């Protein structure tokens, strides 16, 4: 057995012990090659359960957090998902293995270009990308049954709640502190929005606006 294969098995077993029970989510993390998404300098840590730095001061999330947030979205193979914060593309690739269609927004064009190359290499055809302001969501494609935000917001963006369909779930880290935030699941019901705190997390901040290149 290869060293990477053994690490991958150890990681998946650790996720199970940590409370990841959705077999489709576990299968997605097993099938998505995390080594494709990490910075080459951290390749030896690709299958460790830890967040790692990527370009533009961003991070690739810890596999447990990716699995936990994906499970919290309650996805099926018919779900239409919006992701805010493409980053390395790892979370989007995992979503694409579980949901029907994934729309992902990133404010850094360089990050999106790199992520798109990875999606093409993996032949992920149910992923749609946009460079833009994540606070605004993707109104042309709304409503969404599930929305995931992979950066911490000081408050929940109104636009994202508005783009949530009936029965839809929004999973987002909320908090002003750069140290720790609370992961919250919002659910749209007939009575209105229901809020459910999940666990403490650490994410980079969700910054409004699109990054303009110097050349542009």
- So which residues are the catalytic ones? 61
Report whether 182 contacts 174 (CB < 8 A). yes
Q: Which pairing describes strands 144-149 and 164-174: parallel, antiparallel, or unpaired?
A: parallel
| 107/87 Cα distance (integer angstroms) | 9
Neighbours of 213 (CB within 10 A): 9
| 7/10 Cα distance (integer angstroms) | 5
| 99/10 Cα distance (integer angstroms) | 25
Helix (H, G, I), strand (E, B) or coil at 160: helix
Write the DSSP assignment of 10-35 as a string of letters.
Answer: HHHHHHHHTT---HHHHHHHHHS-GG
| 54/147 Cα distance (integer angstroms) | 23
């Amino acid at each position: 057995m290869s060293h990477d294969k053994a690490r991958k098995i150890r990681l998946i077993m650790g996720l199970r012990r940590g409370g990841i029970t959705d077999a489709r989510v576990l299968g997605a993390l097993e099938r998505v090659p995390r080594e494709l998404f990490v910075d080459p300098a951290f390749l030896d840590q690709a299958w460790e359960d830890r967040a790692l730095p990527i370009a533009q001061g961003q991070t690739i999330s810890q596999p447990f957090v990716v699995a936990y947030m994906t499970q919290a979205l309650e996805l099926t193979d018919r779900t239409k998902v919006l992701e805010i914060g493409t980053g390395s593309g790892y979370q989007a690739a995992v979503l694409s293995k579980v949901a029907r269609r994934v729309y992902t927004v990133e404010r850094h064009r360089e990050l999106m270009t790199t992520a798109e190359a990875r999606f093409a290499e993996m032949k992920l055809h149910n992923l749609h990308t946009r460079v833009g302001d994540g606070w605004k969501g993707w109104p042309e494609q709304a409503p969404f049954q599930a929305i995931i935000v992979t950066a911490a917001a000081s408050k929940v963006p109104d636009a994202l709640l508005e783009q949530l369909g009936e029965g839809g779930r929004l999973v987002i880290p909320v908090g002003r502190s750069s140290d720790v935030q609370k992961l919250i699941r919002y659910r749209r019901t007939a009575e209105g929005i229901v809020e459910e705190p999940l666990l403490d997390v650490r994410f980079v901040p969700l910054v409004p606006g699109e990054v303009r290149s110097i050349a542009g």
